[in-house]
Amino acid sequence: MRVYLDHAATTPIDPAASAAMAEASARWANPSSVHAEGRAARAALEDARRRVAAALGWSGAVVFTSGGTEALALALASSGGAHFAGATEHAAVRLATPDARSLPVQADGTIDLAALQAALAGADRPLVAAMHANNETGVLHPIADIARIVRAAGGRLVVDCVQSAGKIDLPDADLLAVSAHKLGGPPGVGALLVRDPAALPTPGGQEGGHRPGTENLPAIMAFAAALEARADRGWAARAGQLRARLETRVAAAGGEVIAARSPRLPTIACLRMPGAEAMLQLIALDLEGYAVSAGAACSSGRVKASHVLTAMGHTERSAGEAIRVSLGHATTAAEVESFAAAWEALAARLTPARAA
Ligand code: PLP
């Protein structure tokens, strides 16, 4: 029996989303076509746009994209002055704006507000990227405070909400990126929520000119359905209780719970087994039936210290001993307890001196 605890990488497609995709096969036409079939597809597309905005509590515009990465790239291509980005941002931000000035985080993983204020002093129309929930640690940045500082500096704020959307309420900002495959929708679809679409580039003929390429209507309809299926956030609170139980056991067995006292998304645990390389842990746990990851899914496979943990003050060695365990909508207490037992047994095996 396999236990999947890598929901922050991708979570299974919700049955409501699968049903919506099947239903979309009846609206297979191109939403840009003028005939009746095309108009029906356009109506379905605009209906999905309204539903996504409503489910996310968003009153501005919604531009559908191929996922979180494209939404962030579009946001960071919007007009403005110098770019600034949190030191623990996802590769999607780091690659889209490689020359951005890095904003340090504190040891608890949150952006240093005093450093942000100092960095923005004198900047002309700064564009600041700050993620809502970190994908490796779950740490939640104080977005309301960050937004206040950015606005006072005359800038705009881009928030990567890929991990938080569908789990907790989204913050208010100028541009927010979301992705369907992290919340029960299919991969390859996401959205940029934008207050002022006039600031976005217009490279194409779809999505208000902000995107070239035929809209992926079945995936977009499934995205809307998945978000609605996550409207009751009780599951995320339950996941938080399961995570607390896991972290208590790991700490008692000699492990370190990274950012244990920081405000965090309830679904992600970052667990360090002192003295045991993360890759060894992953392989051993996989052989025993547990799917977890080291750092970001996109960088697992590469033995490279996490930039997130080193930015928080960990040495490369200690950062290389941490794994990410992420819970999903359907994760059960039995799965988490069984993983905790596997972690304890592995710690006793890989770090016997500690366990003794
Ligand atoms: N931002 C964060 C925080 C993520 O965790 C991910 C995916 O791992 C992305 C952006 C990229 O999203 P997508 O896979 O939809 O392109």
**Structure pTM?**
0.96
Res 27: pLDDT = 72
Q: Is the CB of 86 under 6 A from ligand 1?
A: no
Ligand 1, atom 13, lies closest to the CA of 68
**pLDDT bucket at 301, cuts 50 / 70 / 90:** low
Q: How is residue 105 annotated by DSSP?
A: B
Report how far ligand 1's centroid is from the alpha carbon of 174 (Å).
19
Instruction: Among 97, 132, 162, name the best residue to mutate to test ligand 1's pocket (greatest count of ligand atoms within 8 A of Cβ).
Output: 162
**In this prediction, what percent of the chain has a pLDDT beyond 70?**
96
Res 352: pLDDT = 72
Supply the mean pLDDT for the chain.
94
Q: How is residue 60 annotated by DSSP?
A: S
Q: Which atom of ligand 1 is nearest to the CA of 67?
A: 15
Residue 353 to residues 116, 273, 323, 328: CA-CA distances in angstroms?
Answer: 43, 13, 21, 34
> Alpha-carbon distance 332 to 77, whole Å?
41
Res 354: pLDDT = 59
Considering the candidates 298, 330, 345, 348, report the single residue annotated as catalytic.
298
Res 304: pLDDT = 75
Residue pair 284/294 in contact (Cβ under 8 Å)? The answer is no
Report how far ligand 1's centroid is from the alpha carbon of 239 (Å).
21
Instruction: Enumerate the H helices of 269-322 as residue ranges.
Output: 278-287, 307-311, 316-319
Average pLDDT over residues 18-45: 91
Pick from 63-67, 103-107, 232-236: least confident? 232-236
pLDDT in tens, 200-238: 999 989 999 999 999 999 999 999 999 999 999 899 999
Q: What is the 3-state secondary structure (H, E, C) of 1-44?
A: CCEECECCCCCCCCHHHHHHHHHHHHHCCCCCCCCHHHHHHHHH
Rounded to 5 degrees, what are φ and ψ at 235? -60, -35
**pLDDT bucket at 297, cuts 50 / 70 / 90:** very low
Res 298: pLDDT = 44
Res 182: pLDDT = 98
pLDDT in tens, 305-345: 899 999 999 999 999 999 999 999 999 999 999 999 999 99
Query: Which residue, among 150, 108, 109, 112, has the nearest Cα to 129 in the 3D structure?
Result: 150
Average pLDDT over residues 296-300: 47
